[in-house]
């Protein structure tokens, strides 16, 4: 009997440390799963004349006074997928800002495109642009964010809506990023949209600028604008990049001749300065890239995003470079 008791005691002494280790590992794992933020829908955010859905990402423990980025998806996409795949969610965690992710409804547009071409949705105080501003106001109030550091960006139809927001609410945005998008009021109805997309509309810089100046009573200062486009884009012609440059350099009171040129990931970048030497417009032209948002999956410096339909792995992450252009990171 004594030998049996000794064998039992030895087994207990061996099992106790193993049980403690298992318990500790389980506790650590459980704790780790309760700290990550998520993209969430905000059902009620204020007036919504454009009948859009609002999604939002706020990193855990975000301090007051942080910037806000509004990110607009392209056609056939949704808010959460675009925000994650484009890299904005991981950058929000890294650089500490909140993200507003508007989402189109199929009842508004069968392809889930923002209606960048409809005057009813691209006029200050009306339609989809007014809905996005309601979302922005809700996020600024909820996070006590910095209203002077608000930025907007979008892909394709989201890029066209980015142009519309910059034009109709230039007082609300410090900067914008148009990816494979179009100038403001290139079209004001659906029948004009396809010409703008596939061919482009050639107006004078002053005519383009007048369209922005007529969109609000704002007299400046104006948001900075970064324009990204692939040379092999067969959905939205790269000619729109040049017209965007002419529109926004004219608004800033300068010409459409680049003051500096260099490269980003081997692709051409041009910078346009105002009369006081401040960079106000830039372009990044991606040689051989089709229609989509540039991403560069990975964890290294300058990398972000993941490949998906219309999110193209070209070894350059547009979101990262836009964030740096805006001073977020």
H or E, element range at 140? helix 127-143
Return the structure tokens found at 58: 């706020």
Separation CA 66–CA 148 (nearest Å):
10
At residue 279, the 3 state secondary structure works out as strand
Burial 230-268 (b: 16+ CB within 10 A, else e): beebeebbbbbbbbbbbbbbbbbebebebeeeeebbebe
3-state secondary structure labels for all residues of 189-219: CHHHHHHHHHCCCCCCHHHHHHHHHCCCCCC
Q: How far apart are CA 182 and CA 192, in angstroms?
A: 12
Active site residue 131: no
Tokens of 110: 């069968």
Which DSSP string do the residues of 36-101 spell out, in sequence order? ----EE-S--S--TT--EEEEE--TTPPTT--EEEEE--TT--HHHHHHHTTHHHHHHHHT-EEEE
Q: What is the rounded distance in angstroms from the CA atom of residue 57 to the CA atom of residue 37?
A: 7
Catalytic annotation, pick one of 84, 156, 226, 237:
156
Angle at 79 between CA 136 and CA 290, to 5 degrees: 115
Do residues 66 and 90 lie in contact, with contact meaning Cβ atoms separated by under 8 Å? no
DSSP track, 89-128: HHHHHHHT-EEEEEE--TTT-TT----TT-GGGSSTTSHH
Positions marked active-site: 156
């Amino acid at each position: 009997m004594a030998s049996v008791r000794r064998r039992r005691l030895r087994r207990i002494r061996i099992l106790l440390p193993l049980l403690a280790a298992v318990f500790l590992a389980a506790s650590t794992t459980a704790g780790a799963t309760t700290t990550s933020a998520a993209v969430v829908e905000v059902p009620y955010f204020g007036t919504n004349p454009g009948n859009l859905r609002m999604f939002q990402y706020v990193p855990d423990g975000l301090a007051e006074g942080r910037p806000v980025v509004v990110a607009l998806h392209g056609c056939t996409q949704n808010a959460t997928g675009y925000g994650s795949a484009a890299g904005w969610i991981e950058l929000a965690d890294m650089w500490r800002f909140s993200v507003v992710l508007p989402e189109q409804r199929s009842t508004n547009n069968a392809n889930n495109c923002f209606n960048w071409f409809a005057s009813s949705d691209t006029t200050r105080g009306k339609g989809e642009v007014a809905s996005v501003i309601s979302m922005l106001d809700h996020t600024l109030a909820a996070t006590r964010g910095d209203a002077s550091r608000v930025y907007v960006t979008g892909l394709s139809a989201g890029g066209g809506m980015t142009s519309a927001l910059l034009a109709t609410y230039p007082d609300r945005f410090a900067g914008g990023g148009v990816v494979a998008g179009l100038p403001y009021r290139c079209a004001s109805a659906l029948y004009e949209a396809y010409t703008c997309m596939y061919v482009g509309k050639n107006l004078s810089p002053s005519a383009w600028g007048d369209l922005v100046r007529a969109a609000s009573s704002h007299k400046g200062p104006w948001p900075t604008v970064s324009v990204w486009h692939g040379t092999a884009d067969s959905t939205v012609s790269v000619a729109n990049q040049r017209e965007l440059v002419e529109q926004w350099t004219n608004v800033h009171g300068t010409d459409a001749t680049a003051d500096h040129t260099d490269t980003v990931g081997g692709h051409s970048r041009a910078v346009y300065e105002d009369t006081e030497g401040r960079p106000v417009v830039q372009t990044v032209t991606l040689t051989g890239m089709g229609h989509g948002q540039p991403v560069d999956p990975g964890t290294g410096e300058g990398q972000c995003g993941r490949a998906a339909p219309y999110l193209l792995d070209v070894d350059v992450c547009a979101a990262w470079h836009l964030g740096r252009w805006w001073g977020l990171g």
